[in-house]
Amino acid sequence: MSNAKSRLFFLDAIRAWAILMMLQGHFIDGLLDNVFRNDANILFSTWKYFRGITAPVFFTVSGFIFTFLLIRSPQTGWANPRVKKGIKRGIELLVIAYLLRMNLFGLLKGEIYDSFYLVDVLHCIGLSLLFIIGFYLLTFAKQKWIFPTILASTTVLLFLLEPLYKASSFEFLPQLIANYLTKANGSVFTIIPWLGYATIGSFMSVMFSKYQNSKNLYSYIVPIYVSIGLVLIFASSDFFYAIYEITGIELFQQIFNNNYLFIRLGDVLIVFSIFILLRKALMNATWLRIGQSTLSIYIIHFIILYGSFTGVGLYRFFHHSLNPWIAIPGAILFMIVSTFLALRYENHKVEIKSNISSFLSTTRIYLEQIAIIVFELLRTVTEKILRVLGLIKN
């Protein structure tokens, strides 16, 4: 196995941790009774803080891995096979995201519920991949520094301008598009500012790839990540307030008042550093398989918890009703079940897809035969009626 490929193992370990944290976070946040949500409780406040790290980590590592595979190909531009694969993957994630929000009972009644149009993490990751591909295609023929500069600049601008666009409901846009830009209609995530975490992950990947053959790469990368991370967590808010006092620009005070984006980026860098340091201890095959099966795990957890397709899920029956003594063991069991089912699916994915394809082909053939029979029957009945009415001759 190549050295470059082995370096991706710590990223799979991060993804495994992130998806499991997402599962327990969704379970407890959705089902824990509001009575027990007390920020003064150190256990709840600690859980809440770490839950807030999960999505930034997931977006960042997604951008990192995708870009690592994209730029390591010797081909460039449209000749790069990762471009078409990436476009296919991005569109696939968008389609799956909408399918998970579809309610079959609503479709049978001829209705598409408003929740179908809401944007979630899967929409944003899929669209983020398409943006990264777009930036790559616009810059691959130019000097090499332009691509990472655009990536880093995108992150900085999205994070700095967040107080400005956050206040807008984008009512002038169709709701389908507006939901990607505002939470006013109920979207859980929006492409702005979350694209910023994917692009910073992409930027980190470019830097990583540039120096990946350096023997002392990790000796430098960990101190750099830790230093920048600690500065973002503990000093970025004061920095923005200092700029506000010097310039009087209101935007910087607004950032200071709610500086979660830069602080979370600092958290992401600390998480990356920890997993890099522990990379040799995280080579467990099952753990890495979890990191490589995040999409399957996400889909299964969404169906069980939120009741995709039917509307019948745990959320419907236990929404904000469980006490911690049930919610915590329940979250652990939920993680185990979702992961087990996903890994079982991955083991038999080829066979399952083949069976589904065979079933659809057989169904299509039967439907075609039924359509022919129905057509012939309708034609015969129509001719008889027209003869009775004297509109056609025998």
What span, in angstroms and rounded, lies between the C-alpha atoms of 79 and 96? 27
pTM more than 0.95: no
Please determine, for residue 299, whether its predicted confidence score (pLDDT) is greater than 90. Answer: yes
Looking at residues 91-116, what average pLDDT do you find? 89
Q: According to the 3-state scheme, what is the secondary structure of 148-188?
A: HHHHHHHHHHHHHCHHHHHCCCCCCCCHHHHCCCCCCCCCC
- Tell me the C-alpha to C-alpha distance, in Å, between residue 67 and each of 8, 134, 310, 373: 12, 12, 36, 53
Spatial contact of 159 and 194, defined as CB atoms under 8 Å apart: no
- What's the whole-number average pLDDT of the chain? 91
Please determine, for residue 357, whether its predicted confidence score (pLDDT) is greater than 90. Answer: no
What span, in angstroms and rounded, lies between the C-alpha atoms of 294 and 377? 50
Spatial contact of 232 and 269, defined as CB atoms under 8 Å apart: yes
- For residue 4, the model assigns a pLDDT of 45
Q: According to the 3-state scheme, what is the secondary structure of the chain?
A: CCHHHHCCHHHHHHHHHHHHHHHHHHHHHHHECHHHCCCCCHHHHHHHHHHHHHHHHHHHHHHHHHHHHHHCCCCCHHHCHHHHHHHHHHHHHHHHHHHHCCEHHHHHCCCCCHHHHCCCHHHHHHHHHHHHHHHHHHHCCCCCCHHHHHHHHHHHHHHHCHHHHHCCCCCCCCHHHHCCCCCCCCCCCCHHHHHHHHHHHHHHHHHHHHCCCCCCHHHHHHHHHHHHHHHHHHCHHHHHHHHHHHHCCHHHHHHHHCCHHHHHHHHHHHHHHHHHHCHHHCCCHHHHHHHCCHHHHHHHHHHHHHCCECCCCHHHHHCCCECHHHHHHHHHHHHHHHHHHHHHHHHCHHHHHHHHHHHHHHHHHHHHHHHHHHHHHHHHHHHHHHHHCCCCCC
Report residue 103: phi and psi, to 5°: -115, 115
- For residue 214, the model assigns a pLDDT of 83
Please determine, for residue 350, whether its predicted confidence score (pLDDT) is greater than 90. Answer: no
> Which amino acid type is present at position 119?
V
Q: Residue 85 corresponds to which tokens in the numbers above? A: 């694969």
Please determine, for residue 169, whether its predicted confidence score (pLDDT) is greater than 90. Answer: no
Note the pLDDT tens digit of each residue in 24-62: 999 999 999 999 999 999 999 999 999 999 999 999 999
- For residue 111, the model assigns a pLDDT of 82
Reported confidence tier of residue 19, pLDDT bands at 50, 70, 90: very high
Please determine, for residue 267, whether its predicted confidence score (pLDDT) is greater than 80. Answer: yes
Looking at residues 379-393, what average pLDDT do you find? 75
Please determine, for residue 6, whether its predicted confidence score (pLDDT) is greater than 50. Answer: no
Reported confidence tier of residue 109, pLDDT bands at 50, 70, 90: confident
**Proportion of the chain above pLDDT 70, given as a percent:** 97
Looking at residues 313-328, what average pLDDT do you find? 94
